[in-house]
Chain A
Amino acid sequence: MFKFKSLIIPFAIYIILIAIGLSQPGLWQPIMYIMFYIGIGVALNNFMGLTGYVDFGYVAFLAMGAYGMGVALGYFTYLGIWAIPLGFVLALIFAALLCTAVGGVALRLRGAYFAIATIGVNEGLRYLIEGAKIWGGSEGIILSGKLRKTFGPEFANYLSTFVADAALIIIIFIASVITVYMINSRVGYALLAVREDEDAAKVMGINVTKYKLIAFFTSATIGAMIGASAWTLKLTYVFPEDVFFIHYTVEAIVIVMLGGAGTLLGPVVGGLIYGALKYYLSVILPGFQLLVFAPLLLVIVVAFPEGVVGFVKKKLQERGIIEYIT
């Protein structure tokens, strides 16, 4: 029943990207930069794309993940290598807690009200951590010294390069499988009804709150795993003003819309285009990238209102290849 065929294209894209990164020495960092954007796109799409709700506080889940890993490595360093799995577990727990708090309250709101409420949660949480001096407050958690002392410089370096990147890649592969599963299962049909018309979903007997929470939870936990690996593990520090930076939420929303909300391939294509453009524009026109970027995005979004993948799907509707695009 599951359309695993549709995983072929995204997986091929991931593998090609990784192969390019590995074979061209200078390209590994740009590739991981793009992979990060693909990751947050795929993660947010599991909620925004499938339910039609826009979450402007999404980055708070990445922040929870970053703090989960940060707390584990910073305060439980004596556990040695076990601090890393603990970090991922804490990332999940923190994200799940936030998800329950936000989901239980804000998911009762619709449309713009939900979006505004989620911004409030993100900013509120950041000022709570800074003001109440939780986990180092505004000074954040700095790990590089501790990691070096505990694991030795070589292994610490290995952690923030190989382990962090490998974790991100694995998370992205798993996230895509989850998306396919969600789209093609009963959950997916229920969410489709919710996205199209929430009142209609109710009269069909769909527990709309439950399915919205499932999507919210899935998306939040994947986001947290990305925060834990691509931020804390890789950068070896956690600063509240970085991890709660609303800019990342906006970028994730742009990626989802650019590629095609609610499709599997959409955020992959969106992340690829966005990440690559952003990286090379900042190299070619340092400081001016946003000036070029904004109108460019505007044109793309106007030209492809359903996203690049939505547009391609429409064009290919009658062809056999459509089976491979979800």
Chain B
Amino acid sequence: MLKVSKLESGYGEMQVLWGVDLEVKEKSITTVLGPNGAGKSTTLKAIFGIISPWNGMVEYFGEDVTKTPPHKKVEMGITMVPEGRHLFPNMTVEDNLLMGAYLSRAEEKFEDSLELVYTLFPRLKEREEQKAGTLSGGEQQMLAIGRALMTSPNLILMDEPSQGLAPKLVKEVFETIYKLKEEGLTILLVEQNVFSSLDISDYAYVLHEGKIAFGGSVDEIKESEDIKKAYLGV
């Protein structure tokens, strides 16, 4: 579904990605693991187009989308849950979700998307009228995911959804991501939380100094002591 080959990118003069290759299969969860500064978030940003790729190619269902701007990608069914959530804190939960369905393609499916969000996150329904900024960390993350769902995507890129959450909530977030997969969505996840993310993932890649050091099924990673020791510190 998504194929990234030899992707190079960075900020200003500083190159961060030195040729990232990875593939995301439809209706799966794929995780990119790696230490701080390995280029995990940069990879997602370059795929989505928030920063521009310098070299390499991003393909979505065989179509070259390397230079496609983010808003067009959303129209094609790719969305992103950015790091740090980026909610609209002064708007209500409902308005945040409404804003998520901005595109006309998303507006048409508004009712269905909203029902899906409220089924997945009943707590958001209870807090419909509450301002997003007053929600707890976990609820805010749910809302960020919910808002992404409102664009009626096929592929969701998630940047560290467990960041800054209490252990109990981390578990909840990962359970939700798994439920999204059961709903037929495809997820590309970037995480530092090795154990929890491997538990729900089908495929995993290990990013090391801007390159993929390893890629394969989750079982392979789990079996290989070398990989775990060398790159994941577990």
* B-chain residues with CB within 8 Å of residue A192 when the two chains form the complex: 99
Residue of B nearest to A195 (CB): B88
Residue of A nearest to B49 (CB): A202
A203 with B148, Cβ < 8 A, contacts A189-B99, A193-B102 known: yes
* Interface pick from B8-16, B67-75, B167-175, B194-202: B67-75
Q: Is the CB of B86 within 8 A of A203?
A: yes
Query: What is the bound-complex CA distance between A100 and B147, given in angstroms?
Result: 33
A190 with B102, Cβ < 8 A, contacts A202-B70, A202-B71, A203-B81 known: yes
Query: What is the bound-complex CA distance between A182 and B87, given in angstroms?
Result: 23
Query: What is the bound-complex CA distance between A192 and B106, given in angstroms?
Result: 18
Q: Is B134 an interface residue (CB 8 A)?
A: no
Name the one of A190, A196, A203, A207 contacting B80, with C-beta atoms under 8 angstroms.
A203
Name the one of B75, B79, B90 contacting A203, with C-beta atoms under 8 angstroms.
B79
Q: Is the CB of A205 within 8 A of B102?
A: yes
Name the one of B50, B74, B90, B91 contacting A204, with C-beta atoms under 8 angstroms.
B74
Q: Is B146 an interface residue (CB 8 A)?
A: no
Name the one of A193, A205, A208 contacting B151, with C-beta atoms under 8 angstroms.
A205
Per-residue CB proximity of A17-47 to B under 8 Å, as 1/0? 0000000000000000000000000000000
* B-chain residues with CB within 8 Å of residue A190 when the two chains form the complex: 102
* B-chain residues with CB within 8 Å of residue A323 when the two chains form the complex: none
Q: Is the CB of B102 within 8 A of A204?
A: yes
* A-chain residues with CB within 8 Å of residue B35 when the two chains form the complex: none
A199 with B102, Cβ < 8 A, contacts A204-B151, A207-B69 known: no
Q: Is the CB of A199 within 8 A of B87?
A: no
A104 shortest CB reach to chain B, Å = 15
Best-surrounded residue of A189, A199, A203 (most CB of chain B within 10 A):
A203
* A-chain residues with CB within 8 Å of residue B86 when the two chains form the complex: 197, 199-200, 203
B22 shortest CB reach to chain A, Å = 20
Q: Is the CB of A200 within 8 A of B88?
A: yes
**A 174-225 contacts with B by CB, 8 A:** 186, 189-190, 192-193, 196-197, 199-200, 202-208
* A-chain residues with CB within 8 Å of residue B71 when the two chains form the complex: 202, 205-208
B124 shortest CB reach to chain A, Å = 17
**B 100-126 contacts with A by CB, 8 A:** 100, 102-103, 106
Query: What is the bound-complex CA distance between A121 and B56, given in angstroms?
Result: 36
Name the one of B50, B87, B90, B150 contacting A202, with C-beta atoms under 8 angstroms.
B50
* B-chain residues with CB within 8 Å of residue A202 when the two chains form the complex: 50, 70-71
Q: Is B82 an interface residue (CB 8 A)?
A: yes
B202 shortest CB reach to chain A, Å = 24
Residues of B within 8 A of A (CB): 48, 50, 69-71, 73-75, 79-82, 86-88, 90-91, 99-100, 102-103, 106, 147-148, 150-151
A selection of 25 A-B contacts at a CB cut-off of 8 Å is: A190-B102, A193-B102, A196-B88, A196-B90, A196-B91, A197-B88, A200-B82, A200-B147, A202-B50, A203-B70, A203-B74, A203-B80, A203-B151, A204-B74, A204-B79, A204-B99, A204-B100, A204-B150, A204-B151, A205-B71, A205-B73, A205-B102, A205-B151, A206-B102, A208-B71
